[in-house]
Every structure is written in structure tokens, then in C-alpha cells.
Structure 1
Amino acid sequence: MKSPSYIGRFAPTPSGYLHFGSLVAALASYIDARAVGGQWLMRMEDLDPPREVAGAQLAILQTLERYGFEWDGEVVYQSLRHEAYAEVVNRWLSQGLAYACTCSRKQLEDFHGIYPGLCRNVGHDPEHAAVRIRVPELEYRFKDRVQGEFTQHLGRDVGDFVIRRRDGLYAYQLAVVIDDAWQGVTDIVRGADLLDSTPRQLYLQELLGLPQPRYLHVPLITQPDGNKLGKSYRSPPLSSDQAIPLLLRALRALGQPVSDELEYASLRELLDWGIRHWDAALIPRTHSLEEALLS
């Protein structure tokens, strides 16, 4: 039976192929949903065509299938959702909640990622400019199921942030909030690299009158040199013939008490074991785990 009280999702970006860090996040979100009889949705976050790797979308879905993942319903593609994002951006522009920004990266280099409000009251034409949302001088906080309480002051720690880029592409922060609500997502399980994005998303949810999902941020898998295991560091893609050993490693990375006997289990038996024995309280409360420690 599906649980209407739990709808989870996995939302990969096709800027590369799935790697071990992706697998850890996918497995956590999948098992967390299935352990309570919930739904698990698939969404392709194809918001940035210039960064997309040819063939990555199909490869991601095929890899997930080969690793035994089964999602509910059709795959949602964010590239087909631009009208929904545009409606919100245009509404906020007309209400004065958002404004056009012509600042270049060079201009903002000295501000260390915190927007200083240079265009806030200038009144630029938004047609050929980025669009930023005005943030309040307030703290936003939430309690993560693994990381505990997280707090961020939007004005001091972030500043007004981009919701539509200068090239017309929509920002992740906006799209993820709109689509999670549209799909009815109640529980977001993802990597800890997105922990500090969450207060921005809470603010956008507040502006849109949307319910706040539950959050669980799993540790990142880092390389021995400290870099995040990911596409930008040419992390090796998942091999289709290594599903069982890599799923076992992923379960161990998530703190689950995996026995050596499971090395001889079938793919279905292994995933079923993970679902039956899932305990999110065992996930390490850290932002990163070194890959070498998991091998």
C-alpha cells in the first residue's frame, strides 16, 4: 500500500553520469520512502542545457533501473516546466518582491557569495538581466532528521539571490520549490551539500504559501584530497556489473548494519533487506565521509 503521508523523490542533474555519491543519495531517498510504504518519484533537473552531457539523461535512468530502483509514475522533466517558473517570477516582479540585476561576477568577487544589494533599488529592465528575490533580515531554521537544527540569516549570510539567470534559465532554488510542491513531495532526502540551500527554499515556500517538507541531508562522499565526489571532479560513473558491491558500500556509508552474508544476495534481496532494516537514525551526523573509509 502506498502511504499518502510520504512522497519522496530523486532529482538528478544530467550534467554527468551517476557516481557513488549519487548512489548514496538515491539509495537513502528510495529506502526511506519504501520503508514506510511511501511513493518515490523521479525528476530530471535539466535546467541548464549548456552544462548537460549528451546522453546523460538516458544513462542515469538506465543505471538506476540496473541497480534495482523502481519509481512511481512518469519521469518529470524540468525543461518542460518553464511556464510555471515564469508565472511566479513575473508575479514577484510585478509585486516588487523581485528585481532585475545586471551585476557581473567580476563586480561581486569581493563579496564572497553574499549579494550586497547593488541593483536592489535601481529599476533595471528585467528582459536582459538576472532576477533576484528580495530577502528579509531574518533567520530561517529547520530541524534536519540527521544533521539536527540548522539556522541561516538570509540577509547576512546570503543576500538577495538569483531566481532567473541573465541568460533566461531558471535557478535551482526556484524550480525545486515549485516542483516539489506541484508533485506533492512531503520528504526530501538529498546530499548535505544542499543543507545551506534549504533556508532559501523555506523562504520561497513561505512566499508561495506552501507547506514545508521534512528534510534529511545525507553525508557527502569526499575523495581523499577532500574534494566532493562528483561530476566536476571526474568521479567514475557507476558500473552496471558492480550493483551489489556498490549498494553494499552505500548502505555502509549510510550507517546501516550490513552483514557480509549480503554479498551473496540478489539485487532484489539486498534492496528488500535495506527497506526492512532501514534506520535513518544510524546515518552518520557529519557533512562528509571520505570515500577511502568506505572501501
Structure 2
Amino acid sequence: MRECAVPAPVVRGRFAPSPSGRMHLGNVWCALLAWLSVRSQQGVMVLRIEDLDTGRCRPEYADRLMDDLRWLGLDWDEGPGAAQPDGPYYQSQCAPLYRRALEQVAGAARVYPCYCSRADLHAASAPHRADGTVLYAGRCRNLDAEQRAQLEAAGRRPALRVTVPDRDVAFTDGLCGPMTQNLARECGDFLLRRSDGVFAYQLAVVTDDGRMGINQVVRGRDLLDSTPRQIWLQECLGLPQPAYYHTPLLCAPDGRRLSKREKDLDMGALRSRFSPRQLTGRLAALAGLVPPGTQCTPAQLVDVFDWNKIGRDDVLISDW
């Protein structure tokens, strides 16, 4: 009897922006590549609004962001304004989900209160990685009940950290290749909830990707370093590991990666200077998908998209 082939799982990808300001060219670059990867595999595109920090994120920014995506021709199958089988799609509405996830992590690893201020974390004696990143030294890991009570009496509000194991986490990124990080030496105990009660990005994104069935994550290379700790949290929560693609960053002529402070390259300025076809064509040319000068829609790029065409090095932006 001939064995039946097992169908490949449907690709479920997402674009998960933070509405803390107007999208810039680098955000659009990532959105386009994530969208093309999903559409080229006949998958499901999810839009999630990562507005955990309600002090910086505003509803009007989220509305403008979605308008910019529609202007470009980047649609989504699930999320605000579309089907919502795995809602909420705004992280600001998900605190009960993150609270349950935190409890589950606490059942698999040691979670403890941390009273360190920003100055404590950046003290000269704090351990640093080779790239200058500060590692948490474990200052609050072994505080006893009396010491914690004294700190709280002095007005210190604790954050919550999780103790990471001394082990390597390895994965293969679709663009960056094999990656390995030792959690204890290169990451350190990290936050699950801030001292103001806001749940940390690492816990929120893992929880949301798991409940939404996301199996392909396309995002900027600046988040590559977060992936090992997210994979470990997935293990703690019993969640599957998505495929990861960390895209090259778009950089200003002086080498700085683009940010929302670059007002000349945010979507307000870009929409005043380019049509959707012009902007899409310029980004597609940076990705090596079309010749320079091409004007096109995202839909016209689906058949030519291939991850093997995307360069591995950060892209210097000039003549914009």
C-alpha cells in the first residue's frame, strides 16, 4: 500500500510592530519581507499590535500604522480589522494571558523579585559582554525575606526575573545560519515583568506567537540576540519553536540603524515623496528582487520572492 504524504503545515507568519511613533523605512522593509515570505508560501498573515508600553504607544499611532500598510498594499488575514480567531491582537489587552504564562514559567524555573535600579544595572562593576551589553549580575537572586522587606520599605518596587540555566541554546536562522548562545554567560537572568507591572517583551512575544500558532518569525537582525531566551521560554511553556529569519538592517549613511527619530525616512515623509509602487520598487531593489528603477506592487513580487536572493549584510541607505 502506498503511504500517504503528510501535508506540510500551513505557514503562519506575522508582522508585530510597536505603535510608539510613525513607521520608518526599516519597519516597512521588514513588513514587506515578512509579507512576501508568507504570501509566496500561500500562508496566513497575522498583524499583531505590540503596545505593551502604554506610556509610549498610542491608539492613533496604531491606526496610522495600519493605514500605512494598506496604502502600501500589505494586507493581513488575521488581526485588527480582519478575522480574529486568536484575539486579542493588541498586547495591551492581554495581561491575563501573560499572567498565566508567568505562573507557568515559575513552575518550570526560578522566578524572583529584582529591586535593581537602572543605575545599579549599569554600574561600572556590572559584567559586560564583548559587545558592551550589560549582563545582570544576579544581585537580587539570593536575597532573603528580611532584605526584600527592607528594600520594599524603602520604596523599591520589584521587577520579576527568571534564573536561566548554564546551557547552550542553538538554532539555525534562515538568513544568519547556525547560532548558539550560552544563557548564563551571554544572556543572564532576564526580566519577565517590569517594576511598573508591565510584562516584558520576551514573555509577551513568546506567549502570543504560541497562542496564535505562529510558525515563521521574520524580524530585524537587532532582535537576533533575543531568540535563544525566547526558545528557552518556549520550552518552559511547552510551545513549538518557529522558524526564524532575521533580516538585514537598513542603516543611515553614517552607519546608524534607522529609528523613529529619522523623520525624513518615516512614512509621513515617504508618502509625500513616493507613490506606493515607487516605494515598494525601491525596497524590492534593495532586497535584490528587481532591478533599480522598477515600480511595482507587493503582489507583483510574490512570484519572484526567494530568501536566497536576500543579502546577509546590513544595507546602507543613500539617495533617499
Structure ranking higher in strand proportion: 1
Alignment deviations for residues 238-282 of structure 1 (CA, whole Å, 9 cap, x no partner): 13352222211211222213364x42x5xxxx2222101101111
- Matched residues in 2 for 1:203 and 1:222: separation? 30
Aligned position for 2:86: none
Aligned position for 2:185: 156
Give the CA deviation at 1:97. Answer: 1.9
Aligned position for 1:88: 101
Matching of residue 276 in structure 1 with residue 291 in structure 2 = no
Aligned position for 1:143: 172
Instruction: Return the match for 1:68 from 52, 61, 73.
Output: 73
Identity of aligned residues (%): 37
Q: Which moved more, 1:237-246 or 1:272-281?
A: 237-246
Matching of residue 12 in structure 1 with residue 38 in structure 2 = no
- Matched residues in 1 for 2:168 and 2:224: separation? 15
- Matched residues in 1 for 2:94 and 2:264: separation? 30
Q: How many residues align?
A: 285
Aligned position for 2:279: 246
Aligned position for 2:111: 98
Structure 2 letter corresponding to 1:143: T
- Matched residues in 2 for 1:169 and 1:114: separation? 21
Normalising by structure 1, report the TM-score: 0.90
The verdict on how the C-alpha distance between 1:232 and 1:203 changes in structure 2, with shifts beyond 3 A counting, is farther
Please give the secondary structure, in 1, of the residue aligned with 2:10. Answer: strand
The verdict on how the C-alpha distance between 1:188 and 1:95 changes in structure 2, with shifts beyond 3 A counting, is closer
Structure 2 letter corresponding to 1:38: G
Aligned position for 1:215: 244
Give the CA deviation at 1:5. Answer: 2.1
Structure ranking higher in helix proportion: 1
Aligned position for 1:122: 143
- Matched residues in 2 for 1:16 and 1:153: separation? 34
Please give the secondary structure, in 2, of the residue aligned with 1:5. Answer: coil
- Check the 8 A contact 1:218/1:254 in 2, yes or no: no
Runs in 1 of length 4+ with deviation above 6 angstroms?
A: none
Q: Which has the larger radius of gyration?
A: 2
- Matched residues in 2 for 1:104 and 1:232: separation? 26
Please give the secondary structure, in 1, of the residue aligned with 2:11. Answer: strand
Normalising by structure 2, report the TM-score: 0.84
* Alignment RMSD (CA, Å): 2.0
Please give the secondary structure, in 1, of the residue aligned with 2:213. Answer: coil
Aligned position for 1:194: 223
Structure 1 letter corresponding to 2:110: L
Instruction: Return the match for 1:237 from 266, 288, 293.
Output: 266
Gaps of 5+ in 1: none
Structure 2 letter corresponding to 1:199: P
- Check the 8 A contact 2:135/2:187 in 1, yes or no: yes
Instruction: Return the match for 2:160 from 117, 120, 131.
Output: 131
Aligned position for 1:289: 315
The verdict on how the C-alpha distance between 1:232 and 1:240 changes in structure 2, with shifts beyond 3 A counting, is closer
Give the CA deviation at 1:69. Answer: 1.1
Give the CA deviation at 1:74. Answer: 2.8
- Matched residues in 2 for 1:15 and 1:235: separation? 17
- Check the 8 A contact 1:4/1:38 in 2, yes or no: no
Matching of residue 55 in structure 1 with residue 84 in structure 2 = no
